[in-house]
């Protein structure tokens, strides 16, 4: 079964062809980072226009690279949401047009289901499992007792982890997106400025990063007011330690309480070196396998969308051609 998938939910355009939900035949990604860097963040209008410019040649390139002919395709998958509505629309319209022209079934996919199933491209998933999703827009603990069934047991009450990384980086005048820069600085630092941790109430699996963000901004502002040199690396390390401490502690408690057979990490922040190594250590102690996506599959890409779409293919669960982009799509109803 060959599924062609399209992902345009934010600022990366991507088209992929995946065999049986596990073997990547092609996964073409075109990042718009350089365009948005000038503005210090994603400009929705600009993002949709860029998707329009790239989508056609990327479809051609993905098909060519895969060695799979159009006649061999089994279905067309597309990210339906959540994301920026103008960006999603470009992918949805392209997906519908292809499905219509090739007379193939269309499969709408939830972006976060995609991030989770990126792991299926390299690992064998065993249920029940616990997923820790950390990305630009989401920070969630998701319990799955069977494939495609998602139960969100905890989520951020304010900023997502990636969002906090980007805002803190911006305050320290690091380029956009700031996550990788903070990660690098934190690795190099020999000392940290200790930052607060938001545990919330003891039984909650929810997260909160806005207090931490404010604490960092206070340190930055105070140092600027005093005309001191900014201790960027020490701040980065303090911030990162706080994020990792909370994520690792809550995720491992959830694994034990729910009796999960595996812990799975997903989303853009899953590329974080500190988080990967700390979670690995903790999972060794817990004697629970940790599934980490390879770095190129942490960021937004269409192969992960094809991997998730394969679940729906197996159930012959197809979307109608009036499928709509859903900026607020719920994971439980994907």
Which residues line the annotated binding site?
111, 115, 133-137, 166, 179, 183, 272, 300
- If the CB atoms of residues 66 and 79 are measured against ligand ATP, the closer one turns out to be 79
Options 272, 304, 331, 334; binder of ligand ATP; rule CB under 6 A: 272
Q: Is 10 in the site for ligand ATP (CB under 6 A)?
A: yes
User: What single-letter DSSP state applies at residue 228?
Assistant: P
Taking the C-alpha atoms of residue 181 and residue 204, their distance in angstroms, rounded to an integer, is 30
Taking the C-alpha atoms of residue 62 and residue 167, their distance in angstroms, rounded to an integer, is 34
Options 21, 86, 108, 179; binder of ligand ATP; rule CB under 6 A: 179
Q: Supply the minimum distance, in Å, between the C-beta of residue 54 and ligand ATP.
A: 17
Q: Supply the minimum distance, in Å, between the C-beta of residue 270 and ligand ATP.
A: 8
Q: Determine if residue 259 is left, alpha or beta; phi over 0 gives left, psi from -120 to 50 gives alpha, anything else beta.
A: left
Pinpoint the alpha helices (H) of 105-209.
Answer: 111-117, 161-171, 179-188
Q: Are 46 and 1 in contact (CB under 8 A)?
A: no
Taking the C-alpha atoms of residue 102 and residue 99, their distance in angstroms, rounded to an integer, is 5
Q: Supply the minimum distance, in Å, between the C-beta of residue 10 and ligand ATP.
A: 4
N residues, the chain: 334
Q: Is 180 in the site for ligand ATP (CB under 6 A)?
A: yes
End-to-end CA distance of the chain: 21
- If the CB atoms of residues 163 and 192 are measured against Fe ion, the closer one turns out to be 163
- If the CB atoms of residues 63 and 279 are measured against ligand ATP, the closer one turns out to be 279
Q: Is 108 in the site for ligand ATP (CB under 6 A)?
A: no
Q: Which stretch in 44-52, 262-270, 283-291, 317-325 sits in contact with ligand ATP by CB under 6 A?
A: 262-270
CA atoms within 13 A on the CB side of 301: 27
Options 267, 279, 301, 305; binder of ligand ATP; rule CB under 6 A: 267
Structure tokens at 124: 């064998």
Note the residues at the interface with ligand ATP (CB under 6 A): 9-10, 83, 111, 115, 135-138, 162, 165-166, 177-180, 183, 267-269, 271-272, 299-300
């Amino acid at each position: 079964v060959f599924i062609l998938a399209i992902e345009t939910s934010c600022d990366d355009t991507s088209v992929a062809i995946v065999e049986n939900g596990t073997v990547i035949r092609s996964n073409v990604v075109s990042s718009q980072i350089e365009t948005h860097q000038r503005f210090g963040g994603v400009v929705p209008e600009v993002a949709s226009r860029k998707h329009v410019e790239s989508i056609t040649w990327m479809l051609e390139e993905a098909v060519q690279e895969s060695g799979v002919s159009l006649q061999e395709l089994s279905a067309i998958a597309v990210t339906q949401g959540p994301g920026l509505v103008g960006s999603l629309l470009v992918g949805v319209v392209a997906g519908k047009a292809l499905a219509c022209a090739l007379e193939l079934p269309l499969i709408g996919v939830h972006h976060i289901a995609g991030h989770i199933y990126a792991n299926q491209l390299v690992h064998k998933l065993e249920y029940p499992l616990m997923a820790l999703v950390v990305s630009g827009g989401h920070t969630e603990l998701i319990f799955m007792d069977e494939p495609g069934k998602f139960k969100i047991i905890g989520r951020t009450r304010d900023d997502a982890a990636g969002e906090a990384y980007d805002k803190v980086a911006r305050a320290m005048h690091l380029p956009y997106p700031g996550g990788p820069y903070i990660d690098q600085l934190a690795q190099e630092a020999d000392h940290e400025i200790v930052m607060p941790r938001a545990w919330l109430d003891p039984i909650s699996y929810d997260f909160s990063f806005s207090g931490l963000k404010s604490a960092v901004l206070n340190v930055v502002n105070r140092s600027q007011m005093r005309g001191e040199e900014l201790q960027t690396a020490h701040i980065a390390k303090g911030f990162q330690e706080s994020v990792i401490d909370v994520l690792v502690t809550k995720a491992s408690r959830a694994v034990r309480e729910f009796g999960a057979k595996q812990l799975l990490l997903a989303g853009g922040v899953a590329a974080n070196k500190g988080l990967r190594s700390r979670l690995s250590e903790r999972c060794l102690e817990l004697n629970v396998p940790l599934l980490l996506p390879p770095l190129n599959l942490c960021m937004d890409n269409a192969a992960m969308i094809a991997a998730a779409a394969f679940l729906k293919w197996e159930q012959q669960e197809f979307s109608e051609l009036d499928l709509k982009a859903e900026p607020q799509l719920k994971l439980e109803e994907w």
